[in-house]
Amino acid sequence: MYSNDAADKTSLAEERRRGLNLAYVPAQLEGTLFAWSGGKDSAMALHELKRSGAYKIQALLTTITKDYDRISMHGVRCTLLEAQAESIGLPLEKVFITKDASHQSYEDAMRETLLYYRKKGVGSVVFGDIFLEDVRAYRQKNLAGVGMEALFPLWKKDTQELADAFIKEGFKAVVTCVDTKLLDGSFAGREYDEDFVSALPAGVDPCGENGEFHSFVYAGPIFKKSIAITRGEIVLRDSRFVYCDLVPAGTTT
């Protein structure tokens, strides 16, 4: 008997989608955007999606604060973001906002980009959110407004298990931002490893899902090569957020 390769591949993709607990299962393989922050949850979600074989990722979608030329909230230089995209092997789509951008101006800028991709046939956006219901609902509402779906490969997974898997699978990351209302600023600039996770105080999520900290991933199975970085200055912004500047290796601050 001859096997139907196309049917076998479709069946396998659908099975993998079910394993990922994705919110939207198209009849055929379709293009998707990936909301990329540069951090560990994004990396794990992308890893899951790539392993599933369920979607064709059209681009990494990242919000940039143009006044600083850095990833919004994470504070990472665009040059390092671009190095990530190149090593992953995916196009990078930047959405620019100002440092004082309102929620409305952010949503307007994002909507313009999403509509552009929707017209090209892209029907979904992937996020690395894990358990915050309000964030999930916000993303779903905004995407519904442009006729798109939200996908959450990590949804409701145990965050301690995700942290352990991130480290076990060979990912490497540095903590770039700490919210001092939730975690001591001394954690900024540290390697995200077993020692970091075990040192977190009780009540702090091991993945920082409540906004306790953000990170930058510089190596792991989704990268063709690691990104060489050095740690720069550590600064306090807005009397609250401690940032560790990461500098491409071989450059000056």
At 108-164, the pLDDT tens digits run 999 999 999 999 999 999 999 999 999 999 999 999 999 999 999 999 999 999 999
Strands 124-126 and 172-179 turn out to be: unpaired
Identify the CATH class of 5-248. alpha beta
CB of 60 closer than 8 Å to CB of 90: yes
Q: Burial, 22: exposed, middle or buried (Cβ in 10 Å; 0-12, 13-18, 19+)?
A: buried
Helix, strand or coil, per DSSP, at residue 41: helix
- In this prediction, residue 6 has a pLDDT band, given cuts at 50, 70 and 90, of very low
Question: CB-based contacts of 57: which residues, under 8 Å, 6+ apart?
Answer: 31, 32, 33, 34, 46, 49, 50, 90, 126
As a whole-number percent, the residues of the chain with pLDDT over 90 amount to 85
Q: Burial, 40: exposed, middle or buried (Cβ in 10 Å; 0-12, 13-18, 19+)?
A: buried
Domain ranges across the chain = 5-248
With a cut of 80, say whether residue 94 has pLDDT above it: yes
Total-model pTM: 0.87
Average pLDDT over residues 10-17: 44
Residue 65: enclosing H or E segment and its boundaries?
strand 55-65
Tell me the CA distances in angstroms from 213 to 87, 196, 216, 240, one per residue in order.
Answer: 24, 12, 11, 12
